[in-house]
Amino acid sequence: MKHEAVLIVDFGGQYDQLIARRVREHQVYCELRPYTITLDEIRAFDPIGIIFTGGPSSVYDDAAPHIDPGVFELGVPILGICYGCQLMAQALGGAVTPAQDDSAREYGKTYTYFDTNCRLFKGLPAESVTWMSHGDYMAKVPDSFTLAAHSDNCPNVAIADEARGFYGVQFHPEVNHTEFGRDMLKNFLYEVCRARGDWTMEDYKNSAVASLREKIGDGKVLLALSGGVDSSVAAALLAEAVGSQLTCVFVDHGLLRKDEGDQVEAAFAPWAINFIRVNAEERFLSKLAGVAEPERKRKIIGEEFIRVFEAEAKKLGKVDYLAQGTIYPDVVESGTGDAAVIKSHHNVGGLPDYVDFKEIVEPLRLLFKDEVRQLGRELGLPEYLVSRQPFPGPGLAIRVIGEVTKDKLDTLREADFIFRDEVAKAHLEGTMDQYFAVLTNMRSVGVMGDGRTYDYTLALRSVTTSDFMTADWTRIPYETLDAVSTRIVNSVPGVNRVVYDITSKPPSTIEWE
């Protein structure tokens, strides 16, 4: 069954992926595509609605991103957000100019007044707070549009052409700071686009299983199984689709957390799958020797992963497909179209040019993390596995800042275990979504006993998030942080200072490298 779909056109805004997540929360499938998408590609996508994202550019600049104006002739409803709103206005006969004074510029929380007769704001309060971020001004609104919202400083916070289903908002409805923003998006989807809401994980599971069976046929599949949520759900989905045709290879690259290799093997022992554990610590560490730059580390690890799989595949005989647990944030952060590369993921941007398999299968490629967890539950995976916090493919190699050595890894393993253990003792697991330790490459003077030390600084990181596209640092109680710090500096050799990272995403990423 083909799902109804919304097309999100990416103009480079910082919240673009969050828009996609919000749409899917309302059980409507969507995809994020670059603004270079052609009219033919849009027609082939067959969207029930289109959303233009925000972006850092000004629409009147010659180099600003634009879209084929024919999109406005397709008869498809369009919602423009921030830059997307101004782009629509400019393209349809309006005029956008730089704000002439500070009063026309709006940033941050802004009290806003709405016309609730407009379908976009139907059933919502006439006054609420929105999150603004614009320095340009719509000096002229297109003739076919009416004003649908205003603020004390700006008369055209939202515009609407109800007949064509075109709407533009100068604020960001996708962020939590905009009160009722999710309801506005829901109104666009259901009141304007007339969505049915057919995007559920049960439907996705059934369609994905059928699609995998058709694609793979009687071929053999090799899956990289780390024991993390993504690869585990991918394994369960493939197992349901092709059963004994699947071989799961667990590469123990020596970059795992304390005792994790044994735990992964034990967790999958009851499964009716062909499970192979490859102990490759020495191989990976030799390749990483002397390498400090994080992107090089990621690409080296990605290359070695593929080479290990190729070697195992040759032992197994003919293997047609390599399966990976790539998810949507991996794809987006690794760069698509003109988007910037935030970091290369070992199973996306870190792939070598040559791969000795017929094709790569990525059954979770279009899912966000929380959707992957929902799918895991639909597949009957145990909750302890489905709820497990994320762990990066390159493992502790990107949590050791700078050069990676076995000694540093052992130090980090012990410290990270203590952090997770104290969080568990304080029953705080439910208050955070990802938490871990990072061994920095900074050394500082300390005093232990009567002697001077010159050892490493260890950083603790914990975030709370619903989608891993944005995240807030966790307010861990001081008592717990004190217990973690005291235990680490007293029992982990080589660490004499512990710090806590209080930076959200954005501007930082969740991982340090």
**Who wins on pLDDT, 311 or 125?**
125
| Residues near 433 by beta carbon (within 8 Å), at least 6 away in sequence | 389, 463, 464, 465, 468, 471
Residue ranges of domains in the chain, CATH in brackets: 5-192 (3.40.50.880), 201-386 (3.40.50.620), 399-500 (3.30.300.10)
Total-model pTM: 0.67
Cβ atoms 480, 498 nearer than 8 A: no
The tens digit of pLDDT for each residue in 188-223 reads 999 999 999 988 888 889 989 999 999 999 998 988
Of the candidates 82, 85, 193, 248, the residue annotated as catalytic is 82
Q: Give the integer Cα–Cα distance in Å for 161 and 149.
A: 13
- Of 136-150, 376-390, 400-414, 489-503, the one with minimum mean pLDDT is 376-390
Closest C-alpha to 326, from 334, 338, 336, 317: 334
What pLDDT score does 494 carry?
93
| Residues near 474 by beta carbon (within 8 Å), at least 6 away in sequence | 431, 432, 435, 462, 463, 464
Residue 174 annotated among the catalytic residues of the structure: yes
Residue 513 annotated among the catalytic residues of the structure: no
User: Where residue 356 falls among pLDDT bands split at 50, 70, 90?
Assistant: low
What pLDDT score does 490 carry?
94
Cβ atoms 309, 249 nearer than 8 A: yes
- pLDDT above 90 as % of the chain: 58
Angle between helices 201-216 and 229-242 (to 10 degrees): 60
Of the candidates 26, 134, 172, 346, the residue annotated as catalytic is 172
List b or e across 122-131, with b for residues whose CB sees 16 or more CB atoms inside 10 angstroms.
bebeeebbbb
The tens digit of pLDDT for each residue in 94-130 reads 888 876 655 445 566 889 999 999 999 999 999 999 9
The tens digit of pLDDT for each residue in 187-196 reads 999 999 999 9
Amino acid at 497: R
- DSSP class of residue 64 equals S
Q: Give the integer Cα–Cα distance in Å for 287 and 439.
A: 20
**Who wins on pLDDT, 145 or 346?**
145
Residue with tokens 């690409």: 299
Give the number of other CB atoms < 10 A from CB of residue 155.
Answer: 13
Angle at 161 between CA 158 and CA 164, to 5 degrees: 140
Amino acid at 441: N
Q: Give the integer Cα–Cα distance in Å for 499 and 32.
A: 37
The tens digit of pLDDT for each residue in 467-504 reads 677 889 999 999 999 999 999 999 999 999 999 999 99
Q: Is the pLDDT of residue 1 over 70?
A: no
Cβ atoms 437, 419 nearer than 8 A: yes
Q: Give the integer Cα–Cα distance in Å for 185 and 22.
A: 8
Q: Is the pLDDT of residue 58 over 90?
A: no
Amino acid at 444: S
Q: Is 412 left (phi over 0), alpha (psi -120 to 50) or beta?
A: alpha
- Of 252-256, 379-383, 491-495, the one with minimum mean pLDDT is 379-383
Of the candidates 4, 106, 174, 414, the residue annotated as catalytic is 174
- DSSP class of residue 390 equals P
Residue 172 annotated among the catalytic residues of the structure: yes
Q: Is the pLDDT of residue 303 over 50?
A: yes
